[in-house]
Structure 1
Amino acid sequence: MEEATVVETNDGTVSVASAFAAHQQAVKDRDHAFLTKAVEEAYRGVECGDGGPFGAVVVRNDEVVVSCHNMVLKNTDPTAHAEVTAIREVIKERLSLHCSRSFLLACKKLQQVELSDCEIYASCEPCPMCFGAIHLSRIKRLVYGAKAEAAIAIGFDDFIADALRGTGFYQKAHLEIKRADGNGAAIAEQVFEKTKAKFQMY
């Protein structure tokens, strides 16, 4: 619940001023900053030849935990999309750096690693595989920039996404999903136009 402040005006009337607008702007600015990092990763991935123009950033408590890009070509792994790579890196980091050996073994045995305290920012709307990984890792919030159509327009496959369209697949997830608006969406969509000449997957 947001706080409200009672303000007495010069003529003696009382009004309620809310911090809601300021809070909304702060969230928008925060989202834009992290989405910009994801877009930078998308460019980086193409420039170094690792994979397609997709980037992802995992955030916990307003700090970047990991920033990754598509690694499909470098790893010769069709599942090494930016979002999946980022999730793998966060889980690896948590298991190796922040856990005792016994906890690490328990996590592996029980397979109960989750990222419910994290958010993910993706330069583009996640494909069904990445969306599934986000859902299964229990990430609480997804913010993406470009719509999938921007990737499809330069030749990326939409077969699975097309098959799932209208099935309620995305609506059943228990996470907040937000598409960036304004400048955030625009800079994310520009990635595809600016990199299409440099990137050839096949």
Structure 2
Amino acid sequence: MTEDAKTRLVRLMKETIAHSTQHVKAGGIPFTAMVVDRDGTVLGRGTNTVTAMNDPTAHAEVEAIRDACRAKRTSYLPGAVLLASGEPCAMCYMNALHAGIAEIHYAVDRDEAAGMGFDYRFTYSLFAQDPQTWHTPSVGRLEVPGAIAPFEEFHALRTSRQ
């Protein structure tokens, strides 16, 4: 008997949650993730290592996507599925989008996470605003002569190959 897609996702999410529990017991926080293909083959795993790695981008979802990309030797994962113990923040959603992730599933939503001390809900509305209107960090263009040159060179090389 073959495993149907929903049963497979539930099984894989349970595995993600078990990894989350292990991470908490080891002194980490409860954010873990995995990237799988449509057949359920694990392509990458990640845990939140922001503090351990002194890297503010080392969220579990980003780490799982990085791991999957390294394993597949690509920066694009079309059709892949991201499973996360907690709902991704805006940065993680953007990473998934840029990586071509087809589906995202999470076990604990943003409000439940906030109730446990992880309130990152502000990140969603922040990305709805023009960065130049943000209070912090201050964002603005710094004009430098020739700044566009590498972009023009890349564009010329790319279009000459087509």
- TM-score when scaled to structure 1? 0.56
Q: Which of 83, 87, 95 is equivalent to 1:125?
A: 87
SS at match of 2:77: coil
Identical-residue share of aligned pairs (%): 31
Q: Determine the structure 1 residue equivalent to 2:34.
A: 57
Q: Which structure: larger Rg? A: 1
Contact 1:55 1:82 in 2 (8 A): yes
- The two structures, once aligned, show a CA RMSD in angstroms of 2.1
Q: Determine the structure 2 residue equivalent to 1:160.
A: 123
Q: Please list every run of 5 or more consecutive structure 2 residues that lacks an aligned counterpart in the other structure.
A: 129-162
SS at match of 1:68: strand
Q: How far is 1:157 from its partner? A: 3.1
Q: Determine the structure 1 residue equivalent to 2:111.
A: 149
Q: Which of 23, 44, 47 is equivalent to 1:66?
A: 44
Aligned residues: 125
The one-letter amino acid paired with 1:26 is D
Contact 2:62 2:95 in 1 (8 A): yes
Name the structure with the higher strand share. Answer: 1
Contact 1:41 1:67 in 2 (8 A): no
Give the Cα–Cα distance (whole angstroms) in 2 for the partners of residues 117 and 48 of structure 1: 32
SS at match of 1:155: coil
Q: Determine the structure 2 residue equivalent to 1:83.
A: 61
The one-letter amino acid paired with 1:72 is V
Contact 1:44 1:69 in 2 (8 A): no
The one-letter amino acid paired with 1:39 is I
Give the Cα–Cα distance (whole angstroms) in 1 for the partners of residues 77 and 26 of structure 2: 29
Give the Cα–Cα distance (whole angstroms) in 2 for the partners of residues 62 and 160 of structure 1: 30
Q: How far is 1:70 from its partner? A: 1.2
Q: Which has the higher contact order (CA 8 A, sep 6+)?
A: 1
Contact 1:54 1:82 in 2 (8 A): yes
The one-letter amino acid paired with 2:115 is A
Q: How far is 1:63 from its partner? A: 1.0
Q: Which of 16, 36, 39 is equivalent to 1:38?
A: 16
Contact 1:128 1:161 in 2 (8 A): yes
Contact 2:110 2:119 in 1 (8 A): no
Q: How far is 1:136 from its partner? A: 0.5
Contact 2:35 2:83 in 1 (8 A): yes
Contact 2:46 2:62 in 1 (8 A): no
Contact 2:35 2:81 in 1 (8 A): yes
Runs of at least 4 residues off by over 3 Å? none
Give the Cα–Cα distance (whole angstroms) in 2 for the partners of residues 137 and 146 of structure 1: 22
- TM-score when scaled to structure 2? 0.69
Contact 1:35 1:121 in 2 (8 A): yes
